[in-house]
A and B are shown apart, each in its own frame.
Chain A
Amino acid sequence: MRLVLLTAFGLLTAPFLGGLIVGLDRILTARLQSRIGPPLFQPFYDLGKLWRKERALANPWQAFCAHGYLAAASIALALFGLQSDLLLILFVQAVGALFLVIGAFSSGSPYSQVGAHRELLQILAYEPLLLLVPAGIYLETHSFKIIDLYQWNEPLLLRLPLLFLVLPLVLTIKLRKSPFDLSASHQAHQELVRGILTDFSGPYLGLIELAHFFEIILFLGICSLFWATGWVGMIAVPGAVFIFQILADTASARMNWRWMWAWAWGIGFPLCLINLIWIVCGY
């Protein structure tokens, strides 16, 4: 019962926390570029404004898909709060990612189509890596359940360091940060307008932003599992990943999809496999 209440509280606070993280991200990015940057609450202002814009849809599927994406993202976070099965959480969030792709495919705009294709390539790049993370955790703790992970009295990071190194890579692709912001870059006006988000507008774009906040919290939460023995580690580990993301985002240009695959499958996969083999062999 306590867990359910905590989850409900977490679901209510997650959008605020996610928005603050995005706001902090924008300020830090601006400071790294020697700009001042927007106020901390800028993501909420953006949401508020989008909510009161005209409801313009290319077709009804877009509304359905935007709601579906938000539902999947919030259900995945709720399952995380209930300390449920890690595999289930990852599959639910994958459903959300697909909703977004379907929504973008449903409109005829070529930019939306290109964005959706690229998003599929991104999903194909990070999803196998993301599924190897619970596999490694299972080999170590013999459980997919987060509730059992919290009982484990040794930080997983010490046993799964290479698997953890893959997480920032996955996160960069998943959250569409440079160098892997192929499908919906803020900067690529000339090339793909806004990619996968091109045809979503007004409140529906707001819903997608909101779902994005949920996803940020979910993925930082998954990072925190790697040092779940104390509060310091649970905050420090995702914090470090977050800072790394901002640095990478600011310092790098956008790569093409071949590079993304070379990184994800050429570097990410071997790292995962080495770590898994090492656990199986019992070192």
Chain B
Amino acid sequence: MVIRDMGFFHSFFLKSRIKSPWLLHYDCGSCNGCDIEILACLTPVYDLERFGIINVGNPKHADIFLVTGTVNPRNRKVLLNLYRQIPAPRIVVALGSCALSGGIFREAYNVIGGVDQVIPVDIYVPGCPPRPESIIDGVLMALKQWAPQNKPLPGQDNPG
């Protein structure tokens, strides 16, 4: 949607986009190491909700798509389906070595490679597993991608 009005409302809508990212987490077949670290971000120690981040279970409500694990020909369809169900604008964060490149499973016969082989990825968070601090850092960097005003909004292209 084109941003038409300026001034207070314009800045309010931009600000609210950055201050209210809802996360959808999809595990493409990770060893659960990354998933446990994501859940750790929601605990009182790290408290992701400080940033207005809510972990939702519904792609239709999500803004940020966190993907962990290796993509294979089976879960590729699910990944693509979830990505298409997230209304634009949306941002994809690939989390952990496996989601980045396939990790140690890269050479396996059924592994396609990184998440970016299937859907466009905006932020890569390395680590096996990444620490909660770097996950939070990655998500906040994803939010900064939303800040520029004249850039076309990410996630408005449609793959495959």
In the complex with contacts A45-B20, A201-B87, A34-B44 CB distance below 8 A? yes
In the complex, per-residue mask of A195-227: 1 if CB is within 8 Å of any chain B CB, else 0: 001111110010000000000000000000000
* Chain A contact residues: helix, strand, loop or mixed: loop
Instruction: Let me know if B17 and A49 touch, CB within 8 A.
Output: yes
B29 at the interface (CB under 8 A from A): no
From B12, B17, B52, B57, A194 is in contact (CB under 8 Å) with: B57
B6 at the interface (CB under 8 A from A): no
Contact A193/B20 with A37-B49, A42-B52 known, Cβ cut-off 8 Å: no
Contact B13 A52 (CB under 8 A): yes
Chain B 18-57 residues near chain A, CB threshold 8 A = 19-21, 44, 47, 49-52, 54-57
Q: Which of B3, B44, B58 has the most CB of A within 10 A?
A: B58
Once the chains bind, are B50 and A198 in contact (CB under 8 Å)? Answer: no
Given A30-B47, A35-B49, A49-B20, CB of A56 within 8 Å of CB of B13: no
Which residues of B sit under 8 angstroms from A193, Cβ to Cβ? 57-58
B103 at the interface (CB under 8 A from A): no
B88 is contacted by which of A35, A45, A53 (Cβ under 8 Å)?
A53
Q: Determine whether the beta carbon of A201 is less than 8 Å from that of B61.
A: yes
Contacting residue for B16 out of A30, A48, A188, CB 8 A:
A48
Within 8 A of A (CB), among B40-85: 44, 47, 49-52, 54-58, 60-61, 63
Smallest Cβ distance from B160 to chain A, in angstroms?
A: 18
Name which residue of chain A comes closest to B46, CB basis: A35
Task: Tell me which of B50, B55, B57 has the highest count of chain A C-beta atoms within 10 A of its own C-beta.
Answer: B57
Across the interface, which residues of B come within 8 angstroms of A51, CB to CB? 13
Write the nearest CB–CB distance from A201 to chain B, whole angstroms: 4
Q: Is the CB of B60 within 8 A of A48?
A: no
Whether B15 pairs with A45 at a CB distance below 8 angstroms is: yes
- Contact residues on A (Cβ < 8 Å of other chain), bracket: 35 or more
B154 at interface, CB cutoff 8 A: no
Known interface pairs A54-B1, A56-B60, A194-B61; A38-B16 also in contact (CB < 8 Å): no
Contacts of A55 in B (CB 8 A): 1, 87
Do the beta carbons of B49 and A199 come within 8 Å of each other?
A: no
Residues of chain A within 8 A (CB-CB) of B54 are 186
Across the interface, do A199 and B60 meet the contact criterion of CB distance under 8 Å?
yes
* Residue B89 is within 8 A (CB to CB) of chain A in the complex: yes
Q: Does A189 contact B (CB under 8 A)?
A: yes
Q: CB distance B61 to A48 under 8 Å?
A: no
> What 1/0 flags go to A22-54 for Cβ under 8 Å of B?
000010001001111111001011111101111
Please give, as numbers and ranges, the residues of chain B lying within 8 Å of A49 by CB-CB distance.
13, 16-17, 19-21, 63
When A36-B50, A38-B49 are in contact, do A47 and B61 touch as well, CB less than 8 Å?
no
The answer to whether B44 and A48 have CB atoms under 8 Å apart is: no
CB–CB A38/B50 < 8 A? yes
Contact across chains for A53 and B50 when beta carbons are under 8 A apart: no
B44-A44 in contact (CB<8A): no
Closest to B55 in A: A189
- CB of A93 to closest CB in B, whole Å: 25
| 19 CB-based A-B contacts, threshold 8 Å | A30-B47, A30-B49, A35-B50, A37-B47, A37-B49, A38-B49, A39-B19, A45-B16, A48-B12, A48-B13, A49-B19, A52-B1, A52-B17, A53-B87, A194-B56, A194-B61, A198-B58, A200-B60, A201-B61
Nearest first, the 9 A-B pairs at minimum CB distance are A189-B57, A48-B16, A54-B87, A201-B60, A45-B16, A45-B19, A45-B20, A49-B20, A35-B47
13 further interface pairs, Cβ-Cβ under 8 Å (given A189-B58, A199-B60): A26-B49, A35-B50, A37-B49, A42-B52, A49-B20, A49-B21, A56-B87, A188-B57, A189-B57, A193-B57, A194-B57, A198-B58, A200-B60
